[in-house]
Amino acid sequence: MPDFIQVSEHILRLELPFRIFGPLTVPVAVWLVSSSDGWTQIDSGPPEASDQMVSAVVRATQGRGPDRILLTHAHYDHAGGLTALRMAWNPPLMCHREEVPFVAGEMDYRRLPTGSLAARVGRYFIRTGTWQVPVARDLERGQPAAGMAVIHLPGHAPGQVGFLHPRDRAMICGDAVMSLRGRLSPPFAMATPDPVRAAASMQRLGELDFDHLLPSHGVPILGQGRQAMLDFLQRRGLN
């Protein structure tokens, strides 16, 4: 059974497998952030890994569970465990206001307008779910959430956000960038309807001050996260 592993003083990471289609899988991360007022969980993994996720949360929190859930965005592999968390502990859920309709099942990512050929093709392959979980609070950029700054990083999803932990100097960035096969890469083109805004979000990450870069897909970059981000932007001509 997978377990949470500590990556900084207050942040733990759980890696779960996410099946894209057929035998093709990629890792997706779920995060727990400890603070004086309890545990904050960021994202919930895909629905098929819900049992593994809940069991790992039980072990990491000694049964207490999360006091709140923050979503980077509501894609299948990030929000699929919300129902299981609601059944286990029913913690309040927070996400960006532009993600609320996707969480509530009022909108479908496959219907988003796009000028990207890859995203138009991807509509036929992207997995979606209807979570219909109530949102206790919607987030705006610049607001604090569980002691972290909310950073709006749209493009891959309209309301994708990252969370900057000031004390740990850590940036939990969702799918704004990925860290697969030992190097940074953009989010999957087939699941990114607005690549122009996605590029601007990657540039936004380069403007922030952090040491640890914690993407949802791939290994964390510890200590040298911002420099790795700047090097990546330079390679892509985005600096």
pLDDT(8) > 90: yes
Amino acid letter, residue 160: Q
Q: Tell me whether residue 186 is exposed, middle or buried, using C-beta atoms within 10 angstroms of its C-beta: 0 to 12, 13 to 18, 19 or more.
A: buried
The answer to which of 18-27, 56-65, 203-212, 213-222 has the lowest mean pLDDT is: 18-27
Whether the pLDDT of residue 222 is over 90: the answer is yes
* pLDDT given for residue 19 in this prediction: 81
pLDDT at 217: 96
Taking residues 176-181, what's their average pLDDT? 92
Percent pLDDT > 70 in the chain is 99
Task: Report residue 182's pLDDT band, with 50, 70 and 90 as the boundaries.
Answer: confident
Q: pLDDT tens across 139-158, in order?
A: 987 789 999 999 999 999 99
178 φ/ψ angles, rounded to the nearest 5 degrees: -120, 160
**Do the Cβ atoms of 5 and 193 come closer than 8 Å?**
no
SS3 content of the chain, % helix, strand, coil (to 5): 30, 25, 45
Residue 239 in this model has a pLDDT that exceeds 80: no
Q: What mean pLDDT value characterizes the chain?
A: 93
**Residue 21 pLDDT level (bands cut at 50, 70, 90):** low
Q: Write down the pTM of the prediction.
A: 0.96
Q: What integer is the mean pLDDT of 95-99?
A: 95
Asked if 14 contacts 4 with a C-beta cutoff of 8 angstroms, the reply is: yes
Whole-angstrom distance between the N-terminal and C-terminal Cα of the chain? 41
pLDDT higher than threshold 80 for residue 24: no
Q: What domains appear along the chain, each with residue ranges and CATH number? A: 5-235 (3.60.15.10)
Mean pLDDT of 186-194: 94
Percent pLDDT > 90 in the chain is 76
